[in-house]
Amino acid sequence: MPALSSSSSSSVCTFLFIFLLVVRASNCAAKSTRPPRQLSVDYYAKKCPQLEQIVGSITSQQFKEAPVSGPATIRLFFHDCFVEGCDASILISTNPGSKELAEKDAEDNKDLRVEAFQTINKAKELVERKCPGIVSCADILAVAARDFVHLAGGPYYQVKKGRWDGKISMASRVQCNIPRANFTIDQLLKLFNSKGLTLEDLVVLSGAHTFGFAHCKQFVGRLYNYRGTKQPDPDMDPRLLKALQMSCPQFGGNSDIIAPFDVTTPFMFDHAYYGNLEAKLGLLASDQALVLDPRTKPLVQQLGKDKQKFFQAFSIAMEKMGSIGVKRGRRHGEKRRYCSMHT
């Protein structure tokens, strides 16, 4: 597996080395969930039949050159779908001088990696050359996310298409629609249910943390002052705790330091995430909570034992998530030529 292409590579390698040594508002009001507008696998069969091959040429290149593009793009897709629906509104740049920031500039989205945006922009540019004005950025993002899941060893599933790009992108709508790293199961369920997703979807989609990385700020509270106790989280393996504390001091640490969600196979899309939770190796409090709650623990245990069950469930859950808030037609959407700006 190639090394990360950014400065994060050194911090990841350092963390893994340490770990191995030690181990040896109103805008946020709940909206009624409408039945998803009809999408289809062959939506572009006549107008852009080579779409998946075109996107695939970019994702395979990105995966080789910058493997972090994989988890970054899946996270980008998740953050897009949970705010305004799967409409590529996350890709819009804030207009110069605008009083209202776009989604991508919201505080919760500031650590979305540039590699994900680069992947979609590169794919869109190539698609426009072959099929100008036909394919939405939203569909390209959905296809790219699937590609990266498969490239990292995960399942290949058919992506239904037909999304249009959204016309609204507001940072003020992000905060209450994105789960926090310290969310309880009740808080997670409330959010997922508001999107038409179930408890099973919550557990299965959390499995995307089988690869990817998080910044120290997302879990440092667990290391030193868990839920105001001034003590570390007791539900973290002491060896992992020590390794994380060496990378992430309580105060004054490097904000660029990251740690893998899955300390056993951080670059592979597999089902190790669930086994890690049972071994108290979850990185975020919201991850570890899945094995502590009696409502979610049985499914965590099942998925930890059966990779194929996880792969099948993940494919279904991604299709379901990919149908949230889909826009269709010029009244509700657009087909952007450049994903970062309105047409």
Residues marked as binding? 80, 83, 85, 87, 89, 103, 179, 209-210, 262, 265, 270
The Cα 95–Cα 103 span in angstroms is 12
- The full set of domains in the chain, from first to last, is 50-173 (1.10.520.10), 185-321 (1.10.420.10)
pLDDT, tens digit, for every residue of 227-279?
A: 999 999 999 999 999 999 999 999 888 878 999 999 999 989 999 999 999 99
Q: Can you give the pTM of this predicted structure?
A: 0.90
Residue 185 above 60 pLDDT? yes
Residues marked as binding for Ca(2+)? 80, 83, 85, 87, 89, 103, 210, 262, 265, 270
On whether the CB atoms of residues 131 and 47 are closer than 8 A, the answer is: yes
Residue 3 above 90 pLDDT? no
Strands (E), 24-146: none
Residue 22 above 60 pLDDT? no
Residue 13 above 60 pLDDT? no
Residue 79 among the catalytic residues: yes
pLDDT score at 24:
45
Residues marked as binding for heme b? 209
Residue 262: closest CA among 236, 282, 240, 245: 282
The catalytically annotated residue of 79, 150, 215, 342 is 79
